Each structure stands twice: as C-alpha cells, then as structure tokens.
C-alpha cells in the first residue's frame, strides 16, 4: 500500500489518531515517572539528569562531548546537568588519561549506589504494575515499542 493510499484510508487515519493519543498519554506518564525516579536518586535531581547517569552506568567514563553526542543534545545543556550532578555528589570529573586537556566524567560510588537503588525500585514498581499481564503480551509490547523506536530514526521532520 502506498503512502498516498494509506493517508486516504479513513481506517488508517483513525488508527494513527488513536496511536498518537495513546503515545501522548504514555509520554506524559513517562515524564511523571522520570520525575519520581530522579527524586529517588536524589531529591534535588532534575529528571533529565537521570538519563545521563544511566549512560555513564552503561558506558563508563565519558567526555562531555561524547555524552552530548550520544543523546543528541547540545553540549551546554549536558554541561549544566553534569555540573548539577557533580554538586550533588553523583558524578565526578577527572583528567582524561588520553588527553590531559579533556575531562572524563564517571559516576561516584554514591551515585552508582543511589542509581541502582532507584532502578531496583522502578523495576519492582513495573513488576507490580504489570503483574497481571501475560509474558507473551509483555514481550510483544516490547517488540512493538522497539519497532516504533526504530521507525522514529527515519523521521524526516
């Protein structure tokens, strides 16, 4: 089916509209949950900073420019978040061993511990919320969301 034909099909239009509404609701709830998880890591942490901690947890030491590039955000925005995380004692900066002019950013032991505690609480909350879901449905939903995320990489807006 061509794109023009899909756009003219009222069934597809209705399905897309329903999907947009559900995604909008999901994103609002996800933002709310991000706020709660960030507060579990540290009461003064902004929700956007949680993702930076997760990247550092997964990747290890990184330069500021590499963190910014990995999430597609400008260096000044990431710099502000990293400065705040450093003030909260969750990350630390060290001279990059490969380039003494650059700094490498890592989680502090306290930051790592607080992040794991928050992640475990989030995981438990998901288990409780999804307890009555069939594993097959959870797997299918995960696959469909992965497919949607892949589709977003093709976005040409």
* pLDDT tens digits for range 67-117: 999 888 888 999 999 999 999 999 999 887 777 778 899 999 999 999 999
The residue with tokens 């992965």 is 146
The residue with tokens 């002019």 is 101
Could you report the per-residue pLDDT of 27-69, keeping only the tens digit for each?
999 888 888 888 889 999 988 899 899 999 999 999 999 999 9
pTM assigned to the model: 0.75
Beta-bridge partner residues of 62: 105
CA 146 to chain centre: 14
CA distance 37 to 43: 10
CA distance 154 to 73: 18
DSSP state of 122: H
């Amino acid at each position: 089916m061509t794109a023009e034909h899909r756009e003219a099909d009222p069934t597809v239009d209705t399905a897309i509209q329903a999907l947009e509404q559900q995604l909008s609701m999901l994103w609002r709830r996800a933002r709310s949950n991000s706020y709660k998880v960030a507060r579990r890591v540290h009461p003064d942490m902004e929700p956007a900073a949680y993702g930076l901690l997760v990247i550092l947890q997964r990747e290890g030491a990184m330069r500021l420019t590499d963190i910014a590039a990995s999430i597609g955000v400008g260096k000044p925005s990431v710099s502000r978040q990293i400065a705040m995380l450093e003030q909260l004692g969750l990350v630390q900066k060290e001279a990059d061993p490969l380039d003494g002019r650059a700094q490498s950013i890592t989680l502090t032991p306290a930051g790592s511990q607080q992040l794991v505690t928050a992640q475990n609480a989030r995981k438990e909350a998901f288990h409780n919320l999804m307890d009555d879901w069939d594993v097959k449905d959870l797997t299918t939903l995960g696959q469909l969301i992965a497919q949607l995320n892949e589709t977003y990489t093709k976005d040409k807006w």
